[in-house]
Amino acid sequence: MKAAAFSYVKPRSLAETFDLLERHGEGARLLAGGQSLIAALNMRLDTPRMLIDLNGLRELSGIRVDRDTIAIGALTRHRVLELSDDVSRHLPLIHAAMPFVAHAAIRNRGTFGGSIAFADPAAELPACCIALDARFVIRSRAGDRRVAAREFFRGLYETDLRSGEVLAGGEFARSGDPYRYSFQELARRHGDYAIVGVATRARIAAGVLSDVRIAFCGMGPTPMLATAAAAALDGRACSRDVIAHAQASLARDLAPFDDLYQTAATRMHLARVLLGRALAQLTADHEC
Ligand SMILES: Cc1cc2nc3c(=O)[nH]c(=O)nc-3n(C[C@H](O)[C@H](O)[C@H](O)COP(=O)(O)OP(=O)(O)OC[C@H]3O[C@@H](n4cnc5c(N)ncnc54)[C@H](O)[C@@H]3O)c2cc1C
């Protein structure tokens, strides 16, 4: 199948992009890496009249490390994130997750912002952003607004982005305190979308877990923050009973669904297994 006819324009500035968005309204789509959008057009799941290609906007690309913040521009390719020393040093959770994001050819074109704006509930980066308590920078003619990752994902493929807005990137706090991180995923083949994935961050001192954040992909209509499971771990020394309690608590956090391949019950079982693996990795040098 081929896409329905559309017009194409590649603006040279964000100001021009905002003009185009205003002029074409609901009939326009922003094009980043095209790895999800072009497939949707070819299957005629979407039939925009105008594609606005963001790839000429250099200001939306790159990784910047400041004193307090690490910023990732929306147009930064997955492959750049995967190979970045800054990401490996300052955002080890994202570094660990990147090899699970699609296949190498798709990572060469796909972008950070495309993955966040597309909001596939099985995608890895949205879950990592929630686990890391990131903020998204949303730009429009009116200026910038910042939205916590946790508030940004509203429903299945639905986000807080409004008409006339462009996602400019994500911001992550640089933490002086050492955290430990784990990314775990099960997929049918490596590089496919996750059946279930979990992004986890915690501090551990003298075997006691604190500031635990756990976010799942593939376990509901959006990436899901597992607050009950985190509460079951926070302030406790890691033990088999504590881990089992956190795994049981996932029933309160997650809203899995049946699909052609898995039942909700299977997904919940896999989520518990993955949380166990994540905690084993986080606490690898502590007795549990
Ligand atoms: C076979 C296959 C397997 C894949 N497997 C995975 C996987 O395992 N995990 C995973 O996470 N992803 C996977 N993907 C998706 C891939 O990661 C895409 O790169 C990503 O979903 C979209 O990024 P993109 O840059 O290609 O966005 P595009 O396809 O260009 O755009 C996607 C959507 O986001 C909007 N958009 C893009 N940029 C912006 C912006 N800056 N501001 C506002 N809106 C914007 C577009 O208008 C469009 O609606 C897979 C894709 C394919 C084809």
Q: Which residues of the chain have pLDDT under 50?
A: none
Listed as own residue / partner, the contacts of 230-236 with beta carbons closer than 8 Å and 24 or more positions apart are 233/202, 233/209, 233/279, 234/209, 234/210, 235/208, 235/209, 235/210, 236/208, 236/209
Q: Is residue 135 helix, strand or coil?
A: strand
Whole-number Å distance, alpha carbon 209 to ligand 1 midpoint, is 35
Ligand 1 centroid vs 207 CA: distance in angstroms? Answer: 39
Closest ligand 1 atom to Cα of 123: 11
pLDDT attached to residue 117 = 98
- C-alpha 280 – ligand 1 centre gap (Å): 31
Residue nearest to atom 6 of ligand 1 (CA): 102
pLDDT at 238: 87
Count of C-beta atoms within a 10 Å radius of residue 257: 14
Given this model, what pLDDT does residue 288 score?
A: 59
CA 88 / ligand 1 centre spacing (Å): 22
Long-range contacts of range 205-210, CB-CB < 8 Å, 24 or more positions apart? 206/237, 207/237, 207/238, 207/283, 207/286, 207/287, 208/235, 208/236, 208/237, 208/238, 209/233, 209/234, 209/235, 209/236, 209/237, 209/238, 209/282, 209/283, 210/234, 210/235
Average pLDDT, the chain: 96
Residue pLDDT, tens place only, 151-165: 999 999 999 999 999
**What is the per-residue burial (b if ≥16 Cβ within 10 Å, else e) of 140-162?**
beeeeeebebbebbeeeeebbbe
What does the domain layout of the chain look like in residue ranges? 7-56, 58-171, 181-282
Strand partners, 172: 70
Nearest atom within ligand 1 for CA of residue 30? 47
* pTM beyond 0.85: yes
Number of other residues whose CB lies within 10 A of the CB of residue 111: 30
Dist. CA 80–CA 197, nearest whole Å? 22
| CATH topology (fold) of 58-171 | 3.30.465
Distance 118 CA to ligand 1 centre (A): 6
Please name the CATH architecture into which domain 7-56 falls: 2-Layer Sandwich (3.30)
| Ligand 1: centre distance to CA 115 (Å) | 4
State the closest ligand 1 atom to the C-alpha of 38, by its place in the atom list counted from 1: 29
In a mutational test of the pocket of ligand 1, which residue from 10, 36, 145 has the highest number of ligand atoms less than 8 Å from its CB?
36
Do 162 and 139 meet the contact criterion of CB atoms below 8 Å apart? no
Ligand 1 atom index nearest CA of 74: 41
Residue 182 β-bridge partners: 200
Residue nearest to atom 20 of ligand 1 (CA): 115
Assigned fold of 181-282: Enolase-like; domain 1 (3.30.390)
- Confirm whether 7-56 and 58-171 share one CATH topology: no
Q: What is the DSSP string of 220-252?
A: SSS-EE-HHHHHHHTTSB--HHHHHHHHHHHHH
Instruction: Write out pLDDT tens, residues 248-262.
Output: 999 999 989 998 889
What is the whole-number distance in angstroms between the Cα of residue 27 and the centre of ligand 1? 19
- Position 200 scores a pLDDT of 98
Ligand 1 shell residues, CB under 6 Å: 29-37, 39, 54, 74, 101-102, 106, 110-111, 113-115, 117-118, 123-125, 161, 166-167, 192-193
Query: What's the confidence (pLDDT) of residue 118?
Result: 98
Distance 2 CA to ligand 1 centre (A): 19
CA-proximal residue: ligand 1, atom 52 (nearest): 35
- Measure 78 CA to ligand 1 centroid, in angstroms: 10
